[in-house]
């Protein structure tokens, strides 16, 4: 971070956070890639901007806040060429490409959570997890009926006393959830505590961040 804004006596945790932060080439804001706040891009062999969601591609990286509008600004303002200090080609569909990559990563992680027994589908099972206070987060298909969503909110409220007491995610269609979870016509699902579920939730949150208005 900029030294003129740093605290005089930062803690060890604060120092580690600052060392991990990267600066957006568009806004100048700092963010932690590990928290899904930033997306790394590298210059590909053909001189084009390549999204590096895993952050492990070789070469110098340029960072953009995880927000579609910010990426669109980076393209419009030729920020990649400035960031890499050379002419960079940018595909017209780069924002859509990044969206698709983030979505695929999130769904893949959801599938791993299911294999680890940390993502459960089915209305009855989901309701049981909610009422037994074992749900880390809930998923409801974007094309699912509003009545099913209302029942989920009622179960959440009866357990936590708040309608938003458990995160409720609407990021995928029923077909996408069904494919990821190896079932048919999945409308509801619940993620339980565990490393695989937390990883899936982190990737879903990054996708939501990117798509946010």
Q: What average pLDDT does this structure show over 41-50?
A: 96
Q: What average pLDDT does this structure show over 68-94?
A: 95
pLDDT for the residue numbered 43: 95
Distance CA 31, CA 63 (A): 9
- Burial code (b: 16+ CB inside 10 Å, e: under 16) for 24-57 equals bbbeeebbebeebbbbbbbbeeeeebbbbbeeee
Between 155 and 13, where is the model more confident? 155
For 138-154, write each residue's pLDDT tens digit: 999 999 988 888 888 88
For 124-141, write each residue's pLDDT tens digit: 899 899 988 899 999 999
pTM to 2 decimal places = 0.86
| Res. 23: pLDDT tops 80 | yes
- Banded model confidence at residue 20, pLDDT cuts 50, 70, 90: low
DSSP of 147-174: HHHHHHHHHHHHHHSSTTSS-EE--S-H
Token pair, residue 105, equals 């990563």
| Res. 10: pLDDT tops 80 | no
pLDDT for the residue numbered 82: 94
């Amino acid at each position: 971070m900029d030294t003129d804004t740093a605290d005089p006596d930062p803690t060890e945790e604060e120092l580690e956070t600052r060392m991990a932060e990267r600066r957006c080439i568009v806004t100048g804001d700092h963010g932690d890639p590990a928290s899904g706040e930033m997306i790394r891009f590298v210059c590909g062999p053909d001189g084009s901007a390549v999204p590096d969601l895993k952050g492990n591609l070789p070469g110098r990286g340029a960072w953009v806040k995880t927000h579609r509008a910010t990426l669109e600004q980076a393209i419009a303002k030729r920020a990649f060429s400035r960031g890499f200090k050379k002419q960079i080609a940018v595909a017209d569909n780069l924002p859509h490409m990044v969206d698709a990559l983030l979505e695929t990563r999130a769904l893949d992680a959801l599938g791993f959570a299911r294999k680890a027994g940390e993502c459960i589908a089915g209305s009855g099972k989901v309701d049981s997890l909610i009422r037994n206070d074992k749900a880390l987060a809930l998923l409801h298909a974007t094309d699912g009926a509003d009545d099913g969503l209302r029942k989920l909110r009622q179960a959440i409220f009866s357990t936590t006393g708040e309608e938003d007491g458990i995160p409720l995610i609407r990021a995928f269609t029923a077909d996408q959830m069904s494919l990821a979870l190896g079932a048919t016509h999945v409308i509801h699902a619940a993620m339980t505590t565990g490393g695989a579920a937390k990883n899936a939730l982190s990737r879903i949150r990054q996708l939501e961040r990117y798509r946010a208005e």
